[in-house]
């Protein structure tokens, strides 16, 4: 059975649970009570606040919540999910700080990658919603058609606050 470790971080907008694998790659970052919490983890999760990756990630989050723009690449992440979801999450990683894109924009990129004429924005929405590494993998920067705020597994109130923090 695989072992995973967790630690908690109190952010200005709620408690966050961090999760890493045995190699200290972040595999989860969820707000407490978030939909799909740890649904990508198959194994035992043990609390361990002494791991270097948690200190590094908490430092990243401190900088983020203080209005700085820490780079996604500073934190080693490992995606646990099917290939479709991973392809969507990789696109999320490329959304610049302070910018938003639509589910349809992502669907077009996935269709292009796969040599398809189109892809369902709804399917993309499902993958975005199951992003297990909130904030660092910025799924909050994905909006609906016509600029509408739609869906966020931690709640639209959190999505709104994250976008406000990024001055969007």
Residues of the chain with CATH 3.30.160.70: 3-74
133 φ/ψ angles, rounded to the nearest 5 degrees? -125, 70
Residues of the chain with CATH 1.10.10.10: 83-165
Domain boundaries 3-74, corresponding CATH code: 3.30.160.70
Question: What fold is seen in the domain 83-165?
Answer: Arc Repressor Mutant, subunit A (1.10.10)
Buried-state track 44-68, b at ≥16 Cβ within 10 A, e below 16: ebeeeeeeebbeebbebbeebeeee
Residue 19 falls in the annotated catalytic set: no
Query: Which CA distances in Å does 131 have to 36, 51, 66, 140, 165?
Result: 9, 23, 23, 10, 20
The pLDDT of residue 150: 85
The pLDDT of residue 168: 57
pTM for this one?
Answer: 0.94
Residue ranges in the chain whose pLDDT is less than 70: 168
- List 19, 20, 93, 139, catalytic entry: 139
């Amino acid at each position: 059975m695989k072992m995973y470790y967790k630690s908690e971080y109190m952010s200005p907008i709620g408690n966050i649970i961090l999760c890493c694998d045995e190699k200290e790659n972040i595999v989860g970052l969820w707000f407490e009570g978030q939909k799909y919490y740890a649904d990508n983890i198959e194994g035992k999760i043990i609390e361990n606040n002494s791991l270097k990756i948690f200190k590094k990630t908490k430092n990243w989050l401190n900088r983020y919540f203080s209005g700085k723009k820490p780079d996604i690449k500073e934190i080693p992440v490992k995606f646990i999910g099917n290939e479709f979801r991973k392809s969507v999450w990789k696109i999320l990683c490329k959304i610049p700080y302070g910018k938003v894109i639509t589910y349809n924009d992502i669907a077009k990129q996935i269709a292009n990658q796969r040599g398809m004429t189109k892809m369902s924005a709804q399917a993309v929405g499902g993958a975005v919603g199951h992003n297990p590494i909130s904030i660092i993998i910025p799924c909050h920067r994905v909006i609906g058609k016509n600029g509408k705020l739609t869906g966020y597994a931690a709640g639209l109130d959190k999505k709104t606050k994250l976008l406000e923090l990024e001055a969007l």
